A and B are shown apart, each in its own frame.
Chain A
Amino acid sequence: QVQLVESGGGVVQPGRSLRLSCVASGFTFSNYVIHWVRQAPGKGLEWVAVIYPDGSGKYSADSVKGRFTISRDDSKNTLFLHMNSLRAEDTAMYYCAREYGDYGKDYWGQGTLVTVSS
């Protein structure tokens, strides 16, 4: 069955870096568009970034542009989010989600919590 498992979250000081991972299984990872979506405590969903198959296209939200980089290693069925210059407002649960074309984000991971605090 399709599974997405995020990891790498934790408590980090402002200005530091963190790398999140999302390991996929149960489908041909290399064929799919994958997104990062985050949710601050008690707040709504916020789209963060997307990467297309073969890394052919990468786009990110204005709020993270220049600080966060999305990448993928298809040989390891793994998606990454490299987060630099972290700010308090980046504190959130970070989800990876598979996009099945026009069928939407049909599978989501359980999320990994990032807390930016001194």
Chain B
Amino acid sequence: QSLLAQPPSASGTPGQRVTISCSGSSSNIGSNYVYWYQQLPGTAPKLLIYRNDQRPSGVPDRFSGSKSGTSASLTISGLRSEDEADYYCEAWDDSLKGVFGGGTKVTVL
């Protein structure tokens, strides 16, 4: 029932750049902020990006976010082995509900 569309997987070698897309609609991404979360195996999600492109304190600057219209993206520049995780985009929908993407599993080759 995910309302935001993400690719199920992405991969890259150490040092490469990986970009994950997140597509929504005018009622969610188009009119509200996008957030990104990282979930390592067996752990709770962790906030990675807020307000489309802002990093919380402690998040490495190799993580960056952007938004354009009804789509958003997360880029990992300089991929590292510890970045292997699931990544989720999220936005508030104007129908008064939260919506997540289906998640993207990033593999470091």
Contact = CB atoms under 8 A, between A and B. Distances in A.
Interface of A: 35, 37, 44-47, 50, 59-63, 95, 97, 102-106, 108-111
Interface residues of B, number: 24
B48 to A, nearest CB: 9
B97 A106 contact: no
Nearest to A63: B1
Contacts, number: 63
Contacts of A46: 1, 100
A62 B98 CA distance: 11
Interface of B: 1-2, 33, 35, 37, 39, 44-47, 50-51, 56, 86, 88, 90, 96-103
Contacts of A104: 33, 35, 47, 50-51, 90
Contact of B44 (A59, A102, A109): A109
Contacts of A102: 33, 50-51
- Chain A interface helix/strand/loop/mixed: strand
Given A50-B98, A103-B50, A108 B44 contact: yes
16 contacts: A37-B45, A45-B88, A45-B90, A47-B90, A47-B98, A47-B99, A47-B100, A50-B98, A60-B97, A62-B97, A102-B50, A104-B33, A104-B90, A105-B47, A105-B90, A108-B45
A47 B103 contact: no
Contacts of A110: 44
A103 B37 CA distance: 12
A49 to B, nearest CB: 9
Contacts of B2: 44
Contacts of A108: 44-46
B75 to A, nearest CB: 18
Nearest to A109: B44
